[in-house]
Amino acid sequence: MQALGQKNAKPKPPIYDEESREGLRRAGRFNGQLLDFVRPHVKAGVTTLELDRLCYEYTMDHGHIPACLGYKGYPNTICTSVNEVVCHGIPNNTPLREGDIVNVDVTTIVDGWHGDSSETFLIEPVTEDARRLVQAAFDSMHVGIDAIHPFGKLTEIGRAIERFARLRGYAVVQEYQGHGLGREFHQEPGIPHYVPKLNPSQVILEPGMCFTVEPMINTGTWRTMLDKRDKWTVRTMDLSLSAQFEHTILVTDAGPEILTTTEHGPKTGHKF
Ligand code: MF3
Ligand code: CO
Ligand code: CO
């Protein structure tokens, strides 16, 4: 996710040509493959550091680059955000336990192009409250993706997500948002998962734009706090549960193309 900055002049989001789109497709495809690879390992008893090592080795073995490692000083390959952690959780030595929900967020650079996606996993058995939240986070991502139309408004994505989450009784995180990506990890356009009251984006979605949709949905307050010690881990202010899913999307003449689909992961309509 991209933290909201105070930049005033926003560069125009890049429009990718067919050759660049192929690069983005390859990066997205590998990133989805990486989630497929790690999925069977996300079980009670495994530590998030073990998941991190598995992802590091899989990425390197395929000749690609873990985008997070060293990014703005980030210490690991993946982000693992457990329960009340909203995003940017640093892998550690604590084994996952039954009842946990954990978001695994992976980003890879393939031949200079970025792919970025994440899933929240249920360490079964989980409470019905947790399952319902994860379902809402997944469905809200797809509701947001479905709001993408060539030459439509960028703000429709956040509008759809916010409306959906509210109807289910949840709050949408505002301080972190989706982002354009390509040769850079985080670039224009920013994709808020709600409709900002102040300065909503004027961007029109054009074929050839590429960005993530990655709503973070909370059972309690939308407000978050940054861990004072590690300066990465973001938690809900009230320590209520948070869940998230992420895909990288290419806008095409035919509509949104999901670049990070997985073979074995949840597809739209999936029931957790
Ligand atoms: N993958 C995250 C995103 O969706 C970003 C993680 S940045 C890191 O944008 F430095 F924490 F890895
Ligand atoms: Co992202
Ligand atoms: Co990500």
Q: How far is the CA of 35 from the centre of ligand 1 (A)?
A: 15
Ligand 1 binding pocket mutation candidate from 4, 56, 65, 88 (most atoms within 8 A of CB)? 88
Task: Note the pLDDT of residue 260.
Answer: 98
- Cβ pair 221, 236 in contact under 8 A: yes
The whole-model pTM stands at 0.96
Question: Above pLDDT 70, what percent of the chain?
Answer: 97
| Contacts for 218 with CB less than 8 Å, ≥ 6 apart | 86, 170, 171, 172, 173, 236, 240, 241, 242
Ligand 2 centroid – CA 182 distance (Å): 11
Q: What is the residue-averaged pLDDT of the chain?
A: 97
Give the distance from CA 10 to its chain's centroid.
22
Task: Indicate whether 10 pLDDT > 90.
Answer: no
Instruction: Identify the residue whose C-alpha is closest to ligand 1 atom 8.
Output: 68
Q: 108-124, pLDDT tens digit by residue?
A: 999 999 999 999 999 99
Query: Which pLDDT band holds residue 8 (cuts at 50, 70, 90)?
Result: low
* Residues 186-195, mean pLDDT to the nearest whole number: 98
Residue 143 backbone class (left: φ over 0; alpha: ψ -120 to 50; beta: rest)? alpha
pLDDT of residue 73: 98
Q: Report pLDDT for 11.
A: 87
Q: Any idea which of 9-18, 114-123, 224-233 has the lowest mean pLDDT? A: 9-18
In tens, the pLDDT along 26-58 reads 999 999 999 999 999 999 999 999 999 999 999
The CA R_g of the chain, rounded to the nearest whole Å, is: 17
From the list 87, 157, 113, the residue with the least C-alpha distance to 23 is: 113
Other C-beta atoms closer than 10 Å to the C-beta of 227 total 14
At 116 the pLDDT is: 99
> What was the pLDDT predicted at 4?
61
Task: For tokens 């509701």, name the residue.
Answer: 143
Average pLDDT over residues 137-149: 99
Whole-number Å distance, alpha carbon 78 to ligand 1 midpoint, is 8
Residue-level pLDDT at 121: 99
Q: Which residue CA neighbors atom 2 of ligand 1 most closely?
A: 1
Ligand 1 pocket residues where CB is under 6 Å: 1, 68, 71-72, 74, 79, 88, 105, 107, 116, 212, 214, 246
Residue 78 Cα: closest atom of ligand 1: 12
Query: Candidates 35, 185, 187: which one to mutate for ligand 1, based on the most atoms within 8 Å of Cβ?
Result: 185
Separation of 30 CA from ligand 3 center, angstroms? Answer: 14
pLDDT at residue 5 greater than cutoff 90: no
What's the pLDDT score for residue 2? 66
Q: How high is the pLDDT of residue 83?
A: 99
HEC assignment per residue over the chain: CEECCCCCCCCCCCCCCHHHHHHHHHHHHHHHHHHHHHHHHCCCCCEHHHHHHHHHHHHHHCCCEECCCCHHHCCCCCEEEECCEEECCCCCCCECCCCCEEEEEEEEEECCEEEEEEEEEECCCCCHHHHHHHHHHHHHHHHHHHCCCCCCECHHHHHHHHHHHHHCCCEECCCEEEEECCCCCCEEEEECCCCCCCCCCCCECCCCCEEEECCEEECCCCCEEECCCCCCCEEECCCCCEEECEEEEEEECCEEEECCCCCCCCCCCCCC
Amino acid 149: pLDDT: 98
In angstroms, the CA 212 to CA 190 distance is 9
Residue range 57-116, pLDDT digits in tens:
999 999 999 999 999 999 999 999 999 999 999 999 999 999 999 999 999 999 999 999
Closest ligand 1 atom to residue 212 Cα is 4
Q: What is the pLDDT of residue 168?
A: 98
Share of residues in the chain with pLDDT > 90 (%):
96
